């Protein structure tokens, strides 16, 4: 039995019940704009948290650095991804009782939170390498977890087969217009919470958050992606253009930038900064020691750029740093 086709304004019906369209479907991905984020904010009203900001200073190599921390790790499920998952499901014109997604972490948690809100069943297909703490979080929000394969790509293929078999909706983790637009609501909130137009530093995984915020701020405000040297997805893509959709048959793992994110990064000249792994560890430990904030490594990556001196703000600048996720299995000492 085939799943319900989902057009959602993104190019018509998609075989297999895929929510929206992406680089795996015919034609280029649809552009995401500020107006899309505004529509997403309307849909999400009352369903997500407007996360607070903290104006403070952090230690840099040459002394204290004034910054504004966007505390997005306080979002439902401990991840910004809830915004995109909810927006994609609320935007879809087709009703189905079950949603299937492949994820090795926060996207699965976010989908479990979103489906619980909407009264839908959720199945997350995870590779054997998925962190057990994140799998436990999926379970805690009512998701069925199916272990399949040793790589993210194998999990993706099985999720597509499972959605078709069950007549469920197949949701993508990052490279989907509605998901990016949902993440863009973070940018709309920052415009209301922070004076002026300081640069915004954002950790890059699949690219959904950095792309969403950039689609809102455009060229009016600089958006900077920060990545660990071991997973330079955006940095590599900007140099060599290896955009692979997160559920493409060629996606061996989740650390590839999506086509939508890459297009937005080029359109608005998003910079990519690389930080050492030990700088990320040090930033995470610093957040706990100084602020009693516990985030996962991804959540501390953007902070690491300032804390380690990879990014040095000019005098008078107070950059915004987004702390994006808090689902960690490692206790900070």
In order of start, what are the domains of the chain with their CATH numbers? Answer: 34-80+177-322 (3.40.50.1100), 81-171 (3.40.50.1100)
User: On the CB side of 15, how many CA atoms lie within 13 Å of its CA?
Assistant: 5
Q: How far apart are CA 267 and CA 264, in angstroms?
A: 5
For position 7, what pLDDT does the model report? 31
Query: Would you state the pLDDT for residue 95?
Result: 76
Q: Cα–Cα distance between 68 and 206 in angstroms, integer?
A: 24
CA distance linking residue 208 with residue 80, whole number of Å: 10
The one-digit pLDDT tens for each residue of the chain (333 residues) are 334 333 333 223 333 455 554 444 445 667 899 999 999 999 999 999 999 999 999 999 999 999 999 999 999 999 999 999 999 999 987 778 999 999 988 999 999 999 999 999 999 999 998 989 999 999 999 999 999 999 989 999 999 999 999 999 999 888 899 999 999 999 999 999 999 999 999 999 889 999 999 999 999 999 999 999 998 889 888 888 655 555 543 333 446 788 999 999 999 999 999 999 999 999 999 999 999 999 999 999 999 999 999 999 999 999 999 999 999 866 555
Which tokens in the block code for residue 264?
């937005």
Phi, psi values for residue 321, rounded to 5°: -120, 120
Give the chain's length.
333
Per the confidence metrics, is the pTM higher than 0.85? Answer: yes
- Stated as kind and residue range, the H or E segment containing 64 is strand 63-70
CA dihedral (111, 112, 116, 121) positive or negative: positive
pLDDT the model gives residue 295: 96
Distances (CA, A) of 17 to 110, 111, 118, 131: 19, 16, 18, 28
pLDDT of residue 25: 46
**What angle, rounded to 10 degrees, do the helices at 34-44 and 208-217 form?**
110
- As a whole number of angstroms, the distance between CA 142 and CA 123 comes to 9
Distance CA 211, CA 234 (A): 11
Quick one: pLDDT at residue 126?
95
pLDDT for residue 2: 36
Report pLDDT for 328: 85
Tokens matching residue 99? 């949603």
Ordered DSSP codes for 206-222: SSHHHHHHHHHHTTTS-
**Is residue 308 within 8 Å of residue 279, measured between CB atoms?**
yes
DSSP assigned state of 127? -
């Amino acid at each position: 039995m085939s799943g319900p086709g989902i057009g959602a304004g993104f190019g018509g019906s998609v075989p297999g019940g895929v929510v929206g369209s992406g680089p795996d479907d015919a034609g280029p991905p649809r552009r995401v704009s500020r107006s899309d984020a505004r529509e997403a904010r309307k849909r999400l009203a009352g369903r997500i948290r407007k996360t607070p900001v903290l104006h403070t200073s952090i230690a840099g190599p040459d002394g204290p650095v004034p910054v504004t921390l966007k505390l997005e790790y306080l979002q439902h499920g401990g991840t910004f991804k809830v915004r995109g998952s909810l927006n994609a499901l609320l935007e879809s014109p087709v009703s189905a009782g079950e949603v299937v997604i492949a994820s090795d972490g926060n996207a699965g948690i976010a989908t479990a939170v979103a489906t619980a809100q909407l009264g839908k069943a959720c199945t997350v297909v995870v590779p054997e390498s998925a962190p057990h703490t994140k799998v436990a979080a999926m379970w805690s929000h009512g998701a069925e977890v199916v272990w399949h394969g040793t790589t993210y790509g194998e999990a993706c293929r099985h999720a597509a087969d499972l959605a078709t078999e069950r007549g469920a909706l197949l949701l993508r983790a990052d490279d989907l217009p509605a998901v990016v637009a949902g993440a863009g609501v973070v940018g709309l909130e920052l415009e209301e919470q922070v004076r002026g137009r300081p640069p915004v530093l954002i950790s890059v995984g699949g690219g959904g958050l950095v792309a969403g915020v950039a689609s809102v701020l455009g060229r009016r405000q600089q958006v900077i992606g920060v990545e660990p040297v071991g997973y330079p997805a955006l940095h590599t893509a900007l140099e060599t253009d290896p955009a692979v959709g997160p559920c493409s048959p060629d996606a061996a793992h989740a650390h590839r930038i999506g086509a939508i994110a890459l297009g937005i990064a080029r359109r608005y000249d998003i910079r990519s900064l690389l930080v050492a792994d030990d700088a990320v560890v040090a930033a995470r430990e610093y957040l706990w020691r100084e602020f009693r904030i516990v985030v996962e490594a991804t959540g501390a990556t953007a902070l690491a750029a300032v804390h380690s001196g990879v990014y040095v703000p000019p005098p008078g600048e107070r950059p915004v740093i987004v702390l994006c996720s808090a689902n960690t299995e490692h206790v900070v000492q």
